A and B are shown apart, each in its own frame.
Chain A
Amino acid sequence: DTEVTQTPKHLVMGMTNKKSLKCEQHMGHRAMYWYKQKAKKPPELMFVYSYEKLSINESVPSRFSPECPNSSLLNLHLHALQPEDSALYLCASSQMVVSTQETQYFGPGTRLLVL
């Protein structure tokens, strides 16, 4: 199984809502990532989890809260978002973080619209 799954595929939320994005992989990967991608722009790294611990936070606002309950799951909790947070949110995983020769496997993304 070389698949990263993400739910939901689409999400519309108001600025006062709380929602969560979910990501799952069963490849035994120990590194997982959240990226944000605006239209016609490259993905931008938000967070990296290595062995279920947060290893990189790219100065992301606190209204985005990541969580890694176990080695297969990665969540992104959303609260009090702004319309400019509307984007495609991509999850990825890779085998481990020690080596830099790592291919990242991406999920299909969650398209988020904040009204």
Chain B
Amino acid sequence: SQQGEEDPQALSIQEGENATMNCSYKTSINNLQWYRQNSGRGLVHLILIRSNEREKHSGRLRVTLDTSKKSSSLLITASRAADTASYFCATGKAAGNKLTFGGGTRVLVKP
């Protein structure tokens, strides 16, 4: 079963605009991670936020975590055509570093 659900499922924006996607999850977590996947290829880790953190930045990425609402958001600022990809949130729990991925958001950045 999917732990995380992502919203929206798809997003189309112009280059230079910001892209925001949300992830909701159901049970308690140790951390939440965001990954990017270019079409039909492997996943690339973007950022990890621990359950005791509320916000984290990495370059043009900003991630927030609200454990009371069991939700996280990923903001990509000043988007570029190269940001076109699918973005997945993934939640980690205590046993065996098992990651459970959300359904993903497909982002299209138009030049």
- Chain A residues close to B by CB (< 8 Å): 4, 31, 40-45, 48, 50, 55-56, 88, 90, 92, 94, 97, 99-109, 111
B43, chain A: closest CB distance, angstroms: 4
- Chain B residues engaging chain A, CB cutoff 8 angstroms: 2, 30-31, 33, 35, 40-45, 48, 50, 88, 92-94, 96-104, 106
- The residue that A48 contacts in the complex, of B92, B98, B100, with Cβ under 8 A, is B98
Pick the contact of A106: B40, B43, B92, B97 (CB < 8 A): B43
**Complexed CA–CA distance, A105 and B101 (Å):** 14
Contacting A103 at CB < 8 Å: which of B45, B88, B100, B104? Answer: B45
Which of A31, A105, A108 contacts B41, CB < 8 Å? A108
Contact B42 A4 (CB under 8 A): yes
In the complex, what's the smallest C-beta–C-beta distance from A35 to chain B, in angstroms? 9
Chain B neighbourhood of A42, CB < 8 A: 2, 88, 101-104
Report whether B42 and A97 are in contact in the complex, using a CB–CB cutoff of 8 Å. Answer: no
- The answer to whether B88 touches A97, judged by C-beta atoms less than 8 angstroms apart, is no
Alpha-carbon separation in the docked complex, A48 to B44 (Å)? 19
| Max count, chain A CB within 10 A of own CB: residue among B30, B41, B43 | B43
Partner of B96, one of A4, A88, A97, A111: A97
Q: How far is the CA of A106 from the CA of B48 in the complex (A)?
A: 15
A48 neighbours in B (Cβ, 8 Å): 96-98
**Selected contact of A41 from candidates B30, B42, B103, CB within 8 Å:** B103
Residue of A nearest to B93 (CB): A100
Q: Are A43 and B33 in contact (CB under 8 A)?
A: no
Q: Which residues of B contact A111 (CB under 8 A)?
A: 40
The 9 closest A-B pairs by CB, nearest first: A42-B101, A106-B42, A100-B30, A106-B43, A108-B42, A97-B97, A103-B45, A100-B92, A102-B97
